[in-house]
Amino acid sequence: MPISQSLYTAITGLSVMSDGMSVVANNIANANGKGFKKGRAEFEDMVSSDLSTGSGAAQLGRGARMRSVRTLHTQGGLAVTDNVTDLAIQGSGFFILSGKQGQGDDSSDRKYTRVGSFVFDKDGYLADPGGDRVMGFLSTKQGNLSSRMQEIRIETSQIQPKKTDKVFLDLNLDARIKPSEVEFDITNPEATSQFNNTITVFDSHGRGHPMTVFYNRVPTSEGIEWKWHACVEGKDVADPVEGQEFMLGGSGSVKFDSKGNLLEENFDGGAINFGEGAESNQVIELDFGKNIGLEKGNGLNATRSISAKSVTNFHSQNGYETGNIKSMNIELDGTIRGIYTNGVQRVLGALALATFENQDGLMKGGKNNFTETLDSGPAKIGLAQSGTRGSIYASALEESNVDLAQEFVTMIMTQRGFQANSRSITTTDSMIEEVVNLKR
């Protein structure tokens, strides 16, 4: 074997040390880059030369070469920001970018990233600073998430008003009160009732109206029974009766067992004709909780009638006025929830995350983006916190996973490796010089 072969072997060492230093330099250069994943240079020896019989007892190495630069997808730290559309993934998964605007269905140009520095562009699409749009699942008119993945666009239009058709009540009606011997009189409701409460309801235009419910205990052979009458102000209806403050909008009864638990609810009918062009014959039902009769309740979180002062523990209704979007929350599972000025909250969509069978097989595409390859396998797409996908944190960004201390140690080792290989060259040169000097 010629003595000059050691020169070429040392040159391969210089080459891989140079490549290794490039990897280290790239890691250090991106140490403060959001979502950057560091690389690691991996080397391998070259085919050896066997000087004997092929038994491997006298093999001489031919040097080293770069086998791969492996991307390490370890978790980076989360830095808190004050922007709700700054998103960080804790765990596995990548945000999906459409690549080509308006072609979200085309998977060939999709990009994948851990950098959630997103903004809403002029068209209302959630996008990265480069203009690539974020993919996810939008909400349908029924409030469910669509099964089709598409570019996320948030609608900021008004919520149309919704009329009230159900009122939810959790009361205690005092069981110590004796059954009333006086019939309820709509012209004098306070004097002919034993308890009342008021709740605001909405007509089809979204206008609010106070509705007062008056209660009277009535005689019964078993348990306890209360009659109720729901009334609205006379000035709010289309056909008021002169001199009458209230108009009847509905009536019914509630029955309780011997322990005061809600046993049965009855709605005797009734409708309201709100004025000023609102929809006529608006029926509002009262729900007093889950009764222990047909609804198989357990007596909890429902109206009761026990020996305690009559009181309203809770009331709500399902109508609302027109509202504009006021703020937006992004939850751990990627759900985008809009909060409107009328107090309504709506699911507007959800971010999609992609995982890969072999994420080490992804190809870097610049801008801290990755692209799918045959080695990575196809993207497995779904919602955050499903399968092996991580959680999404709003108002946070993932930091680089570069450890500067480790990089400087690797730099020192690489430098020494380069220096040692250069010494191999100078030493071999001296040996060749000695050979040349044999003949003088």
pLDDT digits (tens, 9 = 90+) for 184-228: 999 999 999 999 999 999 999 999 999 999 999 999 988 999 999
Residues 6+ apart with CB under 8 A from 367: 113, 130
Q: Is the dihedral angle over the CA atoms 250, 244, 180, 259 positive or is it negative?
A: positive
Q: Are residues 216 and 193 in the same domain?
A: yes
Question: Can you give the pLDDT at residue 93?
Answer: 94
Q: Are residues 175 and 138 in the same domain?
A: no
DSSP per position, 191-236: TT-SEEEEEEEE-TT--EEEEEEEEEEE--SSSEEEEEEEEEEGGG
Question: Can you give the pLDDT at residue 298?
Answer: 86
260 found inside a domain: yes
Q: Are residues 119 and 176 in the same domain?
A: no
Q: Are residues 106 and 202 in the same domain?
A: no
Question: Can you give the pLDDT at residue 433?
Answer: 82
Q: Are residues 65 and 95 in the same domain?
A: no
Q: Say how far apart CA 76 and CA 61 lie, in whole Å.
A: 39
Residues 6+ apart with CB under 8 A from 259: 299
User: b/e map of 225-234 (b: 16 or more CB within 10 Å)?
Assistant: bbbbbbbbeb
- Looking at residue 360, the DSSP 8-state letter turns out to be G
160 found inside a domain: no
**Residue range 344-380, pLDDT digits in tens:** 888 999 999 999 999 999 999 888 999 999 999 999 9
Asked whether the beta carbons of 245 and 232 are under 8 A apart, the reply is no
Q: Say how far apart CA 391 and CA 400 lie, in whole Å.
A: 18
Q: Are residues 151 and 55 in the same domain?
A: no
87 found inside a domain: yes
Q: Are residues 176 and 235 in the same domain?
A: yes
Write the Ramachandran bin of 35: left for phi over 0, alpha for psi from -120 to 50, otherwise beta. Answer: left
Q: Say how far apart CA 366 and CA 424 lie, in whole Å.
A: 37
Tell me how crowded residue 221 is: count the other CB atoms within 10 A of its CB.
5
Write the Ramachandran bin of 107: left for phi over 0, alpha for psi from -120 to 50, otherwise beta. Answer: alpha
Question: Can you give the pLDDT at residue 8?
Answer: 83
Q: Are residues 380 and 409 in the same domain?
A: no
Question: Can you give the pLDDT at residue 355?
Answer: 95
Per DSSP bridges, beta strands 363-364 and 262-269 are unpaired
What are the angstrom distances between the C-alpha of 396 and each of 78, 91, 389, 393?
6, 14, 18, 6
Estimate to the nearest angstrom the gap between the alpha carbon of 210 and the chain centroid: 37
Residues 6+ apart with CB under 8 A from 440: none
Query: Residues 128, 131, 137, CA angle at the centre, nearest 5°?
Result: 65
- Residues in a beta bridge with 363: 371
Q: Phi, psi at residue 333, to the nearest 5°?
A: -90, 10
| Last residue of one domain, picked from the residues 295, 317, 339 | 317
Q: Say how far apart CA 425 and CA 39 lie, in whole Å.
A: 29
Which amino acid makes up residue 7?
Answer: L
Q: Are residues 266 and 393 in the same domain?
A: no
Identify the CA nearest to 113 among candidates 398, 311, 330.
Answer: 398
Q: Going residue by residue through the chain (440 aa), what tens digit of pLDDT does each one get?
A: 567 778 888 888 888 999 999 999 999 999 999 999 999 998 888 866 656 655 556 677 788 888 889 999 999 999 999 999 999 999 999 999 997 665 555 667 899 999 999 999 988 899 999 899 999 999 887 778 888 999 999 877 788 899 999 999 999 999 999 999 899 999 999 999 999 999 999 999 999 999 999 999 999 988 999 999 999 999 999 988 888 899 999 999 999 999 999 999 999 999 999 998 899 999 999 999 999 988 888 888 899 999 999 999 999 999 999 998 888 999 999 999 999 998 888 899 999 999 999 999 999 988 899 999 999 999 999 999 998 999 999 999 999 999 999 999 999 999 999 999 888 888 888 888 888 888 76
Which CATH number goes with the domain that contains 269?
2.60.98.20
Asked whether the beta carbons of 354 and 390 are under 8 A apart, the reply is no
Question: Can you give the pLDDT at residue 179?
Answer: 94
Estimate to the nearest angstrom the gap between the alpha carbon of 195 and the chain centroid: 45
Identify the CA nearest to 97 among candidates 370, 382, 383.
Answer: 370
Q: Are residues 70 and 89 in the same domain?
A: no
Count of domains for the chain: 3
224 found inside a domain: yes
Question: Can you give the pLDDT at residue 48?
Answer: 66
| Last residue of one domain, picked from the residues 317, 345, 366 | 317
32 found inside a domain: yes
161 found inside a domain: no
Question: Can you give the pLDDT at residue 167?
Answer: 96
Question: Can you give the pLDDT at residue 57?
Answer: 62
Range of the domain at 25: 5-74+401-436
Q: Are residues 192 and 275 in the same domain?
A: yes
| Last residue of one domain, picked from the residues 260, 283, 317 | 317
- Looking at residue 400, the DSSP 8-state letter turns out to be P
Q: Say how far apart CA 252 and CA 269 lie, in whole Å.
A: 7
Q: Are residues 176 and 260 in the same domain?
A: yes
88 found inside a domain: yes
Asked whether the beta carbons of 125 and 428 are under 8 A apart, the reply is no
- Write out the two tokens for 79: 């830095």
